Amino acid sequence: MEYFVLSQDETFKNTVTIDEDRLPEEFKTIRSPGRKINLDLQNVPFKERSFNFMVKGNVDNYYPDLIEIPLLLISDQLKMIFCSYETRLQCNCTILSDRVNKIQKVYWLCVLEKVDCLGEDTEFYPDHSLKKLVLDEEKIGNRKIFQVSGIRERKIIVNLDVVESILRRPFTGIHMEKACLDYAICTDD
């Protein structure tokens, strides 16, 4: 099976920015190194809650289908695809509110299962940040959407079926890159 790393496409200008100063306190205490907040399934204190996050007001705000900073947020349409492949996916309704321009958009705060699936050839820099991600397909099992554990960075992995479903629809703001598997010959492009 082929796997892909899914991320927010950072080439888009004016991507909506969540006002991190106004995040609820429970999100401020679980910040990981870097700008992203990683949520752990076992420590999620807000199951079955909805949220309202303030965004920085800008008339030109662009709302992509996938937002990674500071939290993993997905659009309603992307959630439907994710849930069709992972029925146990935990998603909390989240409203992004721009008070200045009186705009509200529905997103879903998504907590993905973390899977210990690093391949033997995974490489790290001396500061333990990821240099080269290599996945062990055996450890992945039959999961279709998950997050890699054992690394500092947030890496969202989806299998080929999910990627094909995404590509058949008019999503924007999503970047996909083929993931390297432990038995494949990997090259840095």
Domain ranges of the chain: 3-181
Longest dimension (CA), the chain: 52
Q: Which helix (H) or strand (E) holds 93?
A: strand 90-98
Which residues touch 73 (CB under 8 Å, ≥6 apart)? 66, 67, 94, 96, 107, 108, 109, 110
- The CA distance from 42 to 180, in Å, is 28
pLDDT of residue 8: 96
Higher pLDDT, 35 or 19: 19
pLDDT of residue 21: 85
SS3 137: helix
93 pLDDT band, cuts 50/70/90, is very high
Please name the residue ranges forming H helices in 86-177: 137-140, 160-167
Strand order in the sheet with 51-54: 51-54, 90-98, 103-111, 73-75, 66-67
Q: Per-residue pLDDT tens for 157-175?
A: 999 999 999 999 999 999 9
pTM (2 d.p.): 0.88
Q: Per-residue pLDDT tens for 48-87?
A: 788 999 999 999 999 999 999 888 999 999 999 999 999 9
pLDDT of 30 over the 60 cut: no
